[in-house]
Amino acid sequence: MRRSPSLLALPLALCASTLTGSALAAVSTPFPGVTVVDDGNRVMAIADLCAPGVSVRATAYDERRGTPQEWATKAGVNADVAINADFFDFPGWTYVIGHARGNGKDWPGDKQNKEARVFWQFGPALADLASKDPSAIATEIVGGHNVIIRDGHSTGPGFDGDAVILTSHRRTGIGLSGSRTKLYVFATDLSLEGNEMAAYMFAMASEGGAPAIDIATNEDGGGSSQLYVRGQGQVITSGRQVNNHLGILAKGSGASPQCSERKPTQPLPTIGPTECGKLKSGEGLSRTQAISSCDGRFTLRQQSDGNLVLYAPNGKHIWTPMSIGRDGGYAFDMQKDGNLVLYSPFAYPLFVSNTSVAGAEFALQNDGNGVVYGSGKALFQTQTSGAEAPPANAPTTALPQKPTACGKLLPDEGLARGQSLVSCDGRFTLTMQNDGDLTLRTSDNAVIWRTDTVPAVGYALAFAGGNLAVATPFANTVWDTGTGGHAAATFSLQYDGNLVVRDGTTALWNSGTVTPNAPPPVKGADPSKDPSGAGNGNGNASSANGASGDGADLEGGCATLGSQTRGGASNTKSIGSAVMALALALFVSRRRATTSKSSRSSRH
């Protein structure tokens, strides 16, 4: 049985609880920095390559031929997780199909077939998929076969036309997040086609609380598909010995040699919103930025967790183009060509309005509808008009307590419109202005930092749970530091002009406004009261974009993955996603019911 072409051509809408059965998979953290998602017949291990002591290991030539467990438990390996890797010449055992390097040493040249194919390489500050010559610094290399996920999307239905991925077999896969800081290894003893494999990998990454998979390949399948977890044995097994493997070591402390965050390539919008309820041509939103309708009730927010969400006055989300996760939404642009586009950090368009009318503008109306207007016509709509009742008579946002000390905000303290926080030396003032903008000024009234929340109808600044946030009158967040989940965190306006959120000695966020040449302190200021405790701005503290402060903004645990084209329907409704999720779940259920577990071929 094969899926119809029309179904394959549609976006995949996946809900993890539906896709993986009536109950969610078991999620555990057996080793520091490693999460295991176990659904019985499918298992995924997710490694944080930047966690202390986490590293990657591939098979050296003299370690070849063994099950993943046999290889992982060798004295010179000691891997905590291991899978089978590249195809090999079974039963000759003499060479692997692609490139191979293990523990810093290449396999002998005549033992690598070196087909023109992709390969995974890991080394100092290196974790990536490559297709040309291996990097000289790579210490661990295993070949890949079909690329099944690219730019966060399944490459199906066609893949590369290879019958191996278009037919149903047991599967093994390797993937990385867009930032290249998360490694995913997957194995199943169920027979799956390529589209099904990609779907399950997406869903299990989501269940494991990890960023969306950006790139992934199909590895050796059939009877070779196996996955070992120390303390549990081979949770996916056939007993077959294979030539090479990929392992994860999680020592819990020490170096993380493959850690190097891939830097975004997508430019951020150079101009934010300049008018309430609008993104004019050439304007856009970066992460943590938002616009609100002019009455302040509806807010469209590009969140620090990567999701673009339209909120109603009660804080409920009423529209999102897709749930995409940390390596997803990065820049939301009302382009000059008339297209409204949501870009990933790596320049991939995740959502496109398909409204190519030069000079078009996006309006977030007081009725809750988001509309792209061009040439006097409505070209695209979120279709959220009338989502909530008429405006309330009074704001619903509770105003925070006033600051009780100079230069800092304690939990639940903040600023209402017109209120200010002054550094203890009197040189810097943070003000929640009457026009809704939060600004940081020097003593000579020069603005050195602002949230640009004038068009977002900023109403109150509050510090709670470690998160510093600006809200509208109707309880929608329009800017924040993305540092929630740190109840013991503190917020300081320091002597050097830097705004810093700290948890203990760790800077979670800072404004980057270290200003040593600001006007002199106000007469009589007491330097001993500097809330920083050190007087230094920690200008290299991590940005809010790396934090996870948005919480459970999207309900139901569903992930909607865009179509394989770079465009996409101009007005996809959430009900369409639900229908697709049901269709895919029904297909997979039928496939599972008819699939034999006896597939044991060596090249799948």
The CATH number assigned to the domain holding 483 equals 2.90.10.10
Query: How buried is residue 150: exposed, middle or buried, by Cβ count under 10 Å (0-12/13-18/19+)?
Result: middle
Residue 556 lies in a domain: no
Please write the tens of the pLDDT for every residue from 542-582.
333 333 334 333 433 333 333 222 233 333 333 333 333 43
- Token digits of residue 568: 């996409």
Query: How buried is residue 406: exposed, middle or buried, by Cβ count under 10 Å (0-12/13-18/19+)?
Result: middle
Q: How far apart are CA 139 and CA 109, in angstroms?
A: 16
- Token digits of residue 527: 């330097």
**Residue 93 — pLDDT band, cuts 50, 70, 90?**
confident
| Portion of the chain with pLDDT greater than 70, in percent | 81
Residue 351 lies in a domain: yes
Residue 541: per-residue pLDDT: 33
Q: Point out which residues pair with 12 in neighbouring strands.
A: 561
Average pLDDT of the residues of the chain = 83
Q: How many domains does the chain have?
A: 3
Residue 600 lies in a domain: no
**Residue 315 — pLDDT band, cuts 50, 70, 90?**
confident
Residue 110 lies in a domain: yes
Q: Are residues 333 and 238 in the same domain?
A: no
Is the pLDDT at 365 greater than 50, yes or no? yes
Q: Are residues 60 and 178 in the same domain?
A: yes
Q: Which of 494, 516, 546 is the last residue of a domain?
A: 546
Of the listed ranges 309-323, 362-376, 411-425, 467-481, the one predicted with least confidence: 309-323
For helices 574-594 and 194-207, the axis angle rounded to 10 degrees is: 120
Q: Are residues 357 and 427 in the same domain?
A: no
Pairwise pLDDT comparison (210 vs 257), residue with the higher score: 257
* Residues 428-439, mean pLDDT to the nearest whole number: 95
Residue 570: per-residue pLDDT: 34
> Are residues 99 and 105 in contact, defined by beta-carbon separation less than 8 angstroms?
no
CA separation, residue 181 to residues 212, 238, 287, 454 (Å): 12, 30, 19, 36
Q: Are residues 334 and 201 in the same domain?
A: no
Q: Are residues 95 and 159 in the same domain?
A: yes
Q: Are residues 414 and 541 in the same domain?
A: yes
Side-chain half-sphere of 168: how many Cα atoms within 13 Å?
Answer: 16
Q: Which of 501, 494, 445, 421 is nearest to 469 (CA)?
A: 501
Residue 391: per-residue pLDDT: 67
Helix (H) / strand (E) containing 483: none
Q: Which of 502, 528, 546 is the last residue of a domain?
A: 546
Q: Are residues 235 and 304 in the same domain?
A: no
Pairwise pLDDT comparison (527 vs 355), residue with the higher score: 355
Residue 564 lies in a domain: no
Helix (H) / strand (E) containing 285: strand 284-286
Is the pLDDT at 500 greater than 70, yes or no? yes
Residue 552: per-residue pLDDT: 32
Q: Are residues 377 and 302 in the same domain?
A: yes
Side-chain half-sphere of 248: how many Cα atoms within 13 Å?
Answer: 32
- Token digits of residue 518: 């600001």
Is the pLDDT at 423 greater than 90, yes or no? yes
What is the reported pTM? 0.72
Q: Which of 546, 563, 581 is the last residue of a domain?
A: 546
Residue 40 lies in a domain: yes
Torsion of CA 185, 190, 194, 199, to 10 degrees: -70
Q: Are residues 232 and 108 in the same domain?
A: yes
Residue 326: per-residue pLDDT: 61
| Portion of the chain with pLDDT greater than 90, in percent | 61
Residue 105: per-residue pLDDT: 96
* Residues 590-597, mean pLDDT to the nearest whole number: 37
Q: Are residues 69 and 193 in the same domain?
A: yes
Residue 505: per-residue pLDDT: 86
Residue 303 lies in a domain: yes
Please write the tens of the pLDDT for every residue from 119-177.
999 999 999 999 988 999 999 999 998 899 998 889 888 787 778 888 999 999 999 99
Please write the tens of the pLDDT for every residue from 261-311.
988 999 999 999 999 999 999 999 999 899 999 988 999 999 888 889 999
Of the listed ranges 15-29, 324-338, 398-412, the one predicted with least confidence: 15-29
Pairwise pLDDT comparison (567 vs 179), residue with the higher score: 179
Question: Any idea which residue has 């051509």 for tokens?
Answer: 9
Domain of residue 33, residue span: 26-262
**Residue 389 — pLDDT band, cuts 50, 70, 90?**
low
Q: Are residues 223 and 288 in the same domain?
A: no
Helix (H) / strand (E) containing 256: none
Q: Which of 236, 319, 354 is nearest to 560 (CA)?
A: 319
Residue 325: per-residue pLDDT: 62
Pairwise pLDDT comparison (491 vs 557), residue with the higher score: 491
Tally of residues, the chain:
604
Residue 532: per-residue pLDDT: 63
Number of Cβ within 10 Å of residue 308's Cβ equals: 24
Residue 390: per-residue pLDDT: 66
Residue 393: per-residue pLDDT: 72
Pairwise pLDDT comparison (388 vs 155), residue with the higher score: 155
Q: Point out which residues pair with 502 in neighbouring strands.
A: 490, 507
Residue 221 lies in a domain: yes
Of the listed ranges 36-40, 206-210, 487-491, the one predicted with least confidence: 206-210
Q: Residues near 423 by Cβ (< 8 Å), separated by ≥ 6? A: 406, 407, 429, 493, 494, 495, 497, 530
Residue 328: per-residue pLDDT: 78
Q: Are residues 196 and 331 in the same domain?
A: no
